[in-house]
Structure 1
Amino acid sequence: MNSYQLTAFRYALIVALGGFIFGLDAALISGTVRFISTEFGLSDLQVGAVVSAPGFGVIFALLVTGQICNRLGRKNALLIIAALYLVSALTSVVAPNFELLVAARFLGGLAFTSLSVASMYIGEVSPPEMRGKLVSMNQINIVFGLSAAYFANYAILQASNSGADWVDSVGITAYTWRWMLAVEVVPAAIWLGLLLTIPESPRWLILKGRLDDARRVMARIMPLATIEQHISEIRESASHGHADKNLRAQIADLFDPRIRTAMIIGLTVAIVQPITGINAIMFYAPTVFEQVGIGTDAAFMQSVIVGLVSVVFTLIALVLIDRLGRRPLMMFGLAWAALSLFACSWGFADAVYLLDAEALAQLADKVDVSLLQGALGIEYSSDVMFKEALRGLLGDTAARAYESDLLQSAIHINTTLVLLGITGFIAAFHISVGPIMWVLFSEIFPIHVRGIAIPCFALLTAVVNYFVQQFFPWQLTNMGAAEIFLFYAVAVTIGLVALFKLLPETKNKSIEEIEIALGSASASPVAAHSVVMK
Structure 2
Amino acid sequence: MAGGTIVSTGPIKNYNGGMTTFVFVTCFVAATGGLIFGYDLGISGGVTSMNEFLEKFFPSVYKKMNDGSSKESQYCKFDSELLTSFTSSLYVAALVASFFASAITRVFGRKISILIGGIVFLVGSIVNGLAQNVAMLIIGRLLLGVGVGFGNQSVPVYLSEMAPAKLRGGLNMGFQLAITIGILVANLVNYGTAQMKSNGWRWSLAIAAVPAIIMTVGSLLLPDTPNSLLERGHMEKAKSMLQKVRGTSDVDEEFQDLMDASEQSKLVEHPWRNIIQPRYRPQLVMAILIPFFQQLTGINVIMFYAPVLFKTLGFGDNASLMSAVISGLVNVVATFVSIFSVDKVGRRFLFLQGGIQMIICQIVVGVVIGLKFGINGEGSLSKGYANLVLILICIYVAAFAWSWGPLGWLVPSEIFPLEIRSAGQAINVSVNMFFTFIIAQVFLAMLCHMKFGLFLFFAAWEIVMTIFIYFFLPETKNVPIEEMNRVWKQHWFWSKYIPDEAITGGIQLPAGKTVA
CA distance in 1, matches of 2:261, 2:497: 23
Secondary structure of 2:251's aligned partner: helix
Name the structure 2 match of 1:125: 162
- CA deviations over 1:183-230 (Å, ceiling 9, x no partner): 222232132112111111210111122101212322221144433322
One-letter amino acid of the structure 1 residue matched with residue 352 of structure 2: M
Counterpart contact for 1:275–1:491, Cα < 8 Å? yes
Indicate how the Cα distance of structure 1 residues 4 and 322 shifts in structure 2: closer, same or farther if over 3 A, else same.
closer
Q: Which moved more, 1:8-17 or 1:26-35?
A: 26-35
Q: Does 1:68 align with 2:85?
A: no
For residue 484 of structure 2, what is the aligned residue in structure 1? 514
* Deviations, residues 276-310 of structure 1 (Å, cap 9, x unaligned): 11112111110111122121111111011011100
Whether the aligned pair in 1 keeps the contact of 2:118 and 2:215 (CA below 8 Å) is yes
- Say whether the 8 Å CA contact 1:89–1:182 is kept in structure 2: yes
Aligned mates of 1:333, 1:48 — CA distance in 2: 29
Q: Which residue of 2 aligns with 1:464?
A: 435
Counterparts of 1:413 and 1:308, CA distance in 2 = 21
Answering whether residue 385 of structure 2 is matched by residue 414 of structure 1, we say yes
Q: Distance in 2 between matches of 1:445 and 1:194?
A: 26
Matching residue of 1:93 = 129
- Give the equivalent residue in structure 1 for 2:475: 505
The aligned counterpart of 1:226 is: 250
Pick aligned residue for 1:134 from 127, 150, 171 = 171
| Mapping 1:96-495, distance limit 5 Å | 96-113=132-149, 114-158=151-195, 160=196, 173-242=197-266, 245=269, 249-352=270-373, 381-383=375-377, 386=378, 414-480=385-451, 482-495=452-465
Deviations along 1:478-508, whole A, 9 cap, x unmatched?
A: 332x021111111111111111101111111
For 1:532 and 1:270, locate their aligned partners in 2 and report how far apart those are by CA, in whole Å: 23
Distance 1:523 1:192 in 2: 42
Q: Which ranges of structure 2 fall in alignment gaps of 5 or more residues?
A: 1-16, 62-79, 499-506
Which residue is 2:74 aligned to?
Answer: none
In the aligned structure 2, how far is the partner of 1:144 from the partner of 1:134?
16
Name the CA distance, whole Å, in 1 between partners of 2:157 and 2:31: 11
- Indicate conservation of the 8 Å contact 1:268/1:499, yes or no: no
Native 8 Å contact 1:501 1:532 kept in 2: no
Cα displacement string for residues 62-104 of structure 1 (whole angstroms, at most 9, x for unaligned residues): 1222111111110111100010111111110001101110110
RMSD over aligned CA atoms reads 2.3
Q: Give the counterpart letter for 1:236 in structure 2.
A: D
What amino acid sits opposite 1:120 in the alignment? V
What CA distance in whole angstroms lies between the structure 1 residues aligned with 2:257 and 2:31? 26
Pairing 1:16–2:31 present = yes
Post-superposition shift, 1:326?
0.7
Q: Is 1:48 matched up with 2:84?
A: yes
Q: Deviations over 1:149-190 (max 9, x none)?
A: 1111112223x2xxxxxxxxxxxx221110111222223213
Query: Is the Cα–Cα contact under 8 Å of residues 327 and 503 in structure 1 kept in the other structure?
Result: yes
Seq. identity, %: 26
Deviation at 1:311, TM superposition (A): 0.7
Contact 1:115 1:138 in 2 (8 A): no
- Residue number among 38, 56, 60 corresponding to 2:55 in the alignment: 38
> Where does residue 403 of structure 1 map in the other structure?
none
* CA apart distance, 1:4: 5.4
With normalisation by structure 1, the TM-score equals 0.83
2:10 maps to which residue? Answer: none
Secondary structure of the equivalent of 2:478?
Answer: coil
Please state how far the C-alpha of 1:26 moved relative to its aligned partner. 1.7
The 3 A distance-change label for structure 1 pair 382 and 417 is: farther
Give the conservation status (yes or no) of the 8 Å contact 1:261–1:519: no
Matched, 1:496 2:466: yes
Give CA-to-partner distance per residue, 1:300-356, whole Å, 9 cap, x none: 11011011100110011111111111110110001101111111111111114xxxx
Over 3 Å counting, the alpha-carbon distance change for 1:261 and 1:111 in structure 2 is: same
Asked if the contact 2:278/2:497 (under 8 Å) is kept, the reply is no
Are the equivalent residues in 2 in contact too, given 1:348–1:413 (CA < 8 A)?
no
Q: What residue number does 2:43 align with?
A: 28
Tell me, in whole angstroms, the C-alpha distance in 2 between the residues paired with 1:174 and 1:46: 23
Matched letter for residue 309 of structure 1: V
- Deviates most, 325-334 or 61-70: 61-70
Q: Distance in 1 between matches of 2:60 and 2:224?
A: 45
Q: Which amino acid aligns with 1:39?
A: K
Q: Give the Cα separation in 2 of the matches to 1:222 and 1:216.
A: 10
Alpha carbons of structure 1 residues 143 and 243: separation in structure 2 relative to 1, 3 Å: farther
Kindly name which structure, 1 or 2, has the bigger radius of gyration based on alpha carbons: 1
User: TM-score, normalised on structure 2?
Assistant: 0.85
Letter in 2 for 1:234: L
Using the TM superposition, give the Cα deviation of residue 531 of structure 1 relative to its aligned residue in structure 2, in angstroms: 5.3
5+ long unaligned stretches in structure 1: 161-172, 353-379, 387-406
Q: Distance in 2 between matches of 1:244 and 1:324?
A: 35
